[in-house]
Amino acid sequence: MKKNREDMTVRELEAEVRKHNRLYFLEHKPVISDEEFDRLVEILREKAPNSPALTELVSDVRATGVKVRHETPMLSLDKCYDEKSLVDWASKFEGDVIASPKIDGVAVSLRYDRDGRLVQAATRGDGVEGEDITPNARRVHSIPQDAKSLAKKGKIEVRGEVYMPLSVFARYKGEFANPRNLAAGAVKQKDPAKTADYNLSFFAYDLLGTDVATEDEKLKRLAAADFPTFEWKKLGREQMQSAFEYFIKRRDKYDFETDGVVYKANSVAEQKRLGATSHHPRFGIAYKFQGDSGVTTLIDVEWSVARTGAITPVAIVEPVELSGAMVRRASLHNMGYVRKLGLTKGAKVLMMRRGGVIPNLESVTEPGKGKIDIPRACPSCGAPTREEEDFLYCTNAKSCVRSKIAELEHFVKTVGIDGFGDKLLEQLYESGIVTDASEFYELTMDDLMQMERMGETLAAKLLKNVESSRSIPLSVFLQSLGIRELGRHAAKILAGFGTLKKVTALTEEELSQVHTIGEVIAHEVVEGLKKKKPLIDKLLRHVRIEKEEAPARGGRLGGKSFLFTGVMLAMKREEAQGLVEEQGGVAALSVNKDLDYLVVGDGGGAGSKLAKAKKLAASGGKVKIIEESEFLKMIKL
């Protein structure tokens, strides 16, 4: 059985990192994706932050090749995967930022003498030494053979990437894995004449040996000297994320593969001040795309009613293949997200499977003509809807058919009554046999045998499952009621009061004083318990409530409170909340002055919680906003 990387020893992880580095840089035959490799590195970094495998570089210098020592090391770029990490990086220097697409080609160094003649070309190698490929570089048509206008004051060095355009690679599909592998082999042909046959291209991204003060001036000079450069932007800090989104939209329009955006400090003086580690320069970073992406057409937006009455938009798109799967639907998170994107029917939209798992509609690349209407009536029961911040709700959730069926589904899942699927619940509800949770405990064999496709064996099994759930822990009972804001972890906190009687006797003022609860949650819970009293009384005729101990507060997280927002990629939100409690933390219920951490899921979709937390932090609040990846490090996953 293949061993999970999380379970590997440090020595095993180091061997894996070195193997995949060798396959990528030396043999040009990678067998895992960039995302998988980055995750492998992160696991090793968490277990052994000082491991030499994290910083050592694999040389692509062959034993038969002529070695070239770089006057200035050619280091690889550090990576990030979220806006917060990008902003943190940019906070370490002054001035503007230069952004451009990240092209996965073969990094090369071109040296020109005082007369502007190309005298040497070399691969990146291990960053210190590379391999001489001068004869081959002369056969790449877009590499200038002279640079007289740049070499007026002495020798210069131009750095860039040799790559194979996608239009050229189309000839070789099926024979080679990707354009980079083919470009790497083509630029090292023993017969340089064969290099020309592959129609490789080149673009320049750096200029050394001049007195240029900024990155944008370097790029302008390179372009003026007929060195190909790609689209780039000079940005203020507040524009970095929008530039990332801009380049994502352009991704499918380029004639080359790109897997992210490169950012550099514009000031050369700041670059020198920042310096470099043994592995990467501190003045640059690659903001990587999180998964396979593709452009498709938005057909429509459907609206589904959840148990709480929240009405969630779902994008229906023309099928598009992403990360090996056909994607036809994607959650749009909430009404506010639809408005933010400016969605219209028929629009061309960029879809991405973040982390290779969760489909997400990232942006609109071309507007459509059909208006997306926000429902003024519940799509299930026809009752009026109401807007609350970024969310839309059915005002008749209590008796909305879909909402009621969802309530029943929530109850059986929460208390652990297996076997009651959506179709069976719908039959039971619409036939009037089960209209609230207490009636599960009144079911008979005759009741169940009325349902479609029901046999005696299945009916007996369902009744047995119901019978086994008559003893319910207090926190589970509270959560099963389906009260807004009273989820698993709020229920755990309330269970600490000891008995259901004490919980239902709490006032809003008393409950709001409980750490992480706050006024809004207290109001929803107290009012919800009042409204649910008839159901509670009926349930108590059939079930027994088990007393629970208050959750422990020791452990690694030491009583710190955590609130989650957005889509979690590594685990479900409920699982993350459970881990917080297991490690001595508190699963918070809302953004308030007592909150220690707001964790933003890497799958996107963060709503008003993030905005509130930012506002609270700006006004001096103690809350820290962290990404899902940072949270995983805190809990050592």
Exposed/middle/buried for 600, CB within 10 Å: 0-12, 13-18, 19+?
Answer: buried
What are the φ and ψ backbone dihedral angles of 336, each rounded to 5 degrees? -60, -35
Q: Are strands 284-288 and 78-80 parallel, antiparallel or unpaired?
A: parallel
Which residue shows structure tokens 């280091």?
Answer: 75
Contact (CB, 8 A) for 237 and 263: no
CA quadruple 448, 451, 456, 458: dihedral positive or negative? negative
Sheet holding 586-587, edge to edge: 586-587, 561-565, 597-600, 624-627
In whole angstroms, how far apart are CA 257 and each of 231, 261, 333? 14, 12, 30
What are the φ and ψ backbone dihedral angles of 311, each rounded to 5 degrees? -110, 115
SS3 track for 168-203: HHCCCECCECCHHHHHHHHCCCCCHHHHHHCCCEEE
Question: Which of 597, 631, 592 shows the shortest CA–CA distance to 612?
Answer: 592
What are the φ and ψ backbone dihedral angles of 162, each rounded to 5 degrees? -90, 130
Which 8-state DSSP code applies to residue 434?
-
Task: Read off the amino acid at residue 323.
Answer: S
How many CB atoms within 10 Å of residue 227? Answer: 22
User: In which element (H, E) is residue 391 found?
Assistant: strand 391-394
Whether 102 is catalytic is yes
The angle formed by the CA atoms of residues 264, 265 and 266, to the nearest 5 degrees, is: 105
User: What's the rounded Cα separation, in Å, for the pair 586 and 559?
Assistant: 6
> Helix %, strand %, coil % for the chain, to 5?
35, 25, 40
Contact (CB, 8 A) for 315 and 303: no
- DSSP output for 570-597: SS-HHHHHHHHHHTT-EE--S--TT--E
SS3 track for 315-381: EEEEEEEECCEEEEEEECCCHHHHHHHCCEECCEEEEEEECCCEEEEEEEEECCCEECCCCCECCCC
SS3 track for 28-50: CCCCCCHHHHHHHHHHHHHHCCC
Q: Which two tokens stand for residue 453?
A: 């496709």
Question: Which of 92, 255, 263 shows the shortest CA–CA distance to 179?
Answer: 255
User: What's the rounded Cα separation, in Å, for the pair 463 and 444?
Assistant: 8
Which ranges of 506-594 would DSSP assign to H, the alpha helix?
508-512, 518-531, 533-539, 573-582
Which residue shows structure tokens 């994008």?
Answer: 315
Q: Active site residue: 102, 218, 404, 532, which one? A: 102
Catalytic residue numbers, as ranges: 102
